[in-house]
Amino acid sequence: MDEMTQLRKLRADAPVPDRAALAPGRERLTGAIAGRGRRARRVWADWRIASLGAAATITAAALIIAQVVDTSSNPNALAGNLDLSGPTVTLDRAADFLEGKKAPPEPRAGQWIYTVNVIAKPELASTENIADPDTGPDTSWTPYADPEMEKDPADDAWSARETYRAAESLPEDPAALLAEVRTLYPAFDTERGREESSTARTFRGLSTLIESYPLSPAARARIYRALGTVPGVGITDHLVRDAAGRKAIAVTYEEPGSHERRELLLSPSDYSYAGTRHVVTEDHELNEQGFVTRMTAGDITLDSARTAAAVVDAKGQKP
């Protein structure tokens, strides 16, 4: 059996968002990213499996709904005096930069979130013949206020409007903010007998907020300051390249035992969300349902980039 078939089988039993599974295609994954909570976030539950599923199916392109990236004329320009010496100094500088920015008005009900995303081909040293993505850039429109998501306050999938307002209400104090994020994003049950650590849960919740669009500069600044205090969070000491070939800051976290580092990519020109990478940190084998896949340190199993995001007045409209 070829290795691509093996990779597809690895994804077969990975947890999926319960509510989102009711909607077809992209709408299903849109709900997983734009929403909040236990089921809506299980798509991130096992990074190894989620990453391999993205590599096998390429449908992970839909993971990039409601996110913000640098759209300036020179995305490789640097925002002030960039310092990559550690998470606290880097993310505090990002917060300082953002706190001086004026927030645009909150979108209105009836408006849409326009996004464009690209996915790079996975880089797996021991797996050959992985096909290139066959769709090119993924363009999508998501309602800012989704009545179906918002009609049930007890539902754990949130619209972009609900996520925006939750982020706006987060406290200034980093410790209090982290506690609130853990309330907003409860721990999931993985169905694989693997418990999510408190730190992994915190990083997942913060990442979800950072990926959301829109997000005011002040809210993003508070989130960055808190992220810099999370144990295990790091900063790569050099700029990396995202799936669109742009320079990016890599904010990293590796859950013990996962053999894989998750990288949250930020634009060095304005500290907006730029993309996500999953990078294998040590050689190991995955044995799922009798299929063994060899993973090599340095393999990139998921590499996505957000190249545009805007609020528009109608579905299908471009800025």
From 40-49, 224-233, 234-243, the region with the lowest mean pLDDT? 40-49
CA distance 75 to 100: 19
pLDDT band at 190 (very low <50, low <70, confident <90, very high): low
Q: How far apart are CA 268 and CA 70, in angstroms?
A: 9
Q: What is the mean pLDDT of the chain?
A: 78
This prediction has a pTM of 0.75
Measured CA distances, 224 to 256, 266, 269 (Å): 23, 11, 15
116 touches 137 (CB < 8 A): yes
Cα–Cα dist 177/170, whole Å = 6
CA distance 148 to 158: 10
Strands 247-253 and 260-266: antiparallel
Query: Per the domain annotation, does 289 fall within a domain?
Result: yes
- How many CB atoms sit inside 10 A of residue 135's CB? 10
Higher pLDDT, 306 or 7: 306
Tokens of 116: 């464009």
Closest of 133, 115, 205 to residue 163, by C-alpha: 205
Tell me what the mean pLDDT of segment 183-196 comes to. 70
Q: Is residue 317 part of a domain?
A: no
Higher pLDDT, 103 or 79: 103
> What pLDDT is attached to residue 148?
85
Question: Cα–Cα distance between 145 and 129 in angstroms, integer?
Answer: 42
Residues in the chain: 319
Number of domains in the chain: 1
Q: What are the DSSP E strand ranges found in the chain?
A: 112-119, 138-143, 234-235, 240-241, 247-253, 260-266, 273-280, 284-288, 291-295, 300-312
Whether residue 61 has pLDDT greater than 80: no
Q: What are phi and psi of 183, to 5 degrees?
A: -70, -40
pLDDT at 317: 98
Task: Establish if 318 belongs to a structural domain.
Answer: no
Between the alpha carbon of residue 16 and those of residues 11, 191, 290, the distances in Å are: 10, 11, 22
Question: Is residue 238, in this structure, part of any structural domain at all?
Answer: yes
Choice among 77-81, 158-162, 256-260, 305-309 with the minimum mean pLDDT: 77-81
In angstroms, how far is the first alpha carbon of the chain from the final one?
A: 46
Maximum average pLDDT range among 16-30, 74-88, 289-303 = 289-303
Residue, of 180 and 64, whose pLDDT is higher: 180
Residue 257: per-residue pLDDT: 85
Tokens of 207: 């990442």
Residue 149: per-residue pLDDT = 87
269 Cβ contact list (under 8 Å, min separation 6): 70, 72, 74, 75, 76, 77, 78, 79
Cβ pair 305, 117 in contact under 8 A: yes
* Paired tokens of 95: 């917060």
HSE value, Cβ hemisphere, 13 Å, CA-based, for 49: 21
Per the model's pLDDT, the better-predicted residue between 42 and 85 turns out to be 85
CA–CA separation, 274 vs 242, rounded Å?
7
Residue type present at position 108: R
- What whole-number distance in Å separates Cα of residue 126 and Cα of residue 119? 20
Picking from 183-197, 252-266, 269-283, which range would have the lowest pLDDT averaged per residue? 183-197
Does residue 319 form part of some domain? no
Q: Is residue 297 part of a domain?
A: yes
Counts for the chain of helices (H) and strands (E), in that order:
9, 10
Tell me the mean pLDDT in the region 38-55.
37
Query: Can you tell me which residue has the tokens 């319960």?
Result: 18
The verdict on residue 122 lying in a domain is yes
- Residue 192 domain boundaries: 3-312
26 or 84: whose pLDDT is higher? 84
Q: Using pLDDT thresholds of 50, 70 and 90, give the confidence band for residue 67.
A: very low
Residue 112 forms part of a structural domain: yes
Q: Are 57 and 8 in contact (CB under 8 A)?
A: yes
More confident residue, 39 or 79: 79
Q: Which percentage of the chain shows pLDDT scores above 90?
A: 56
For 2, the token pair is 């070829």
Q: Per-residue confidence at 103, pLDDT binned at 50, 70, 90?
A: very high
Could you give the C-alpha distances from 162 to 15, 57, 123, in angstroms and in order? 24, 30, 36
Rounded CA-CA distance 313/82 in Å is 36
- For residue 165, the model assigns a pLDDT of 96
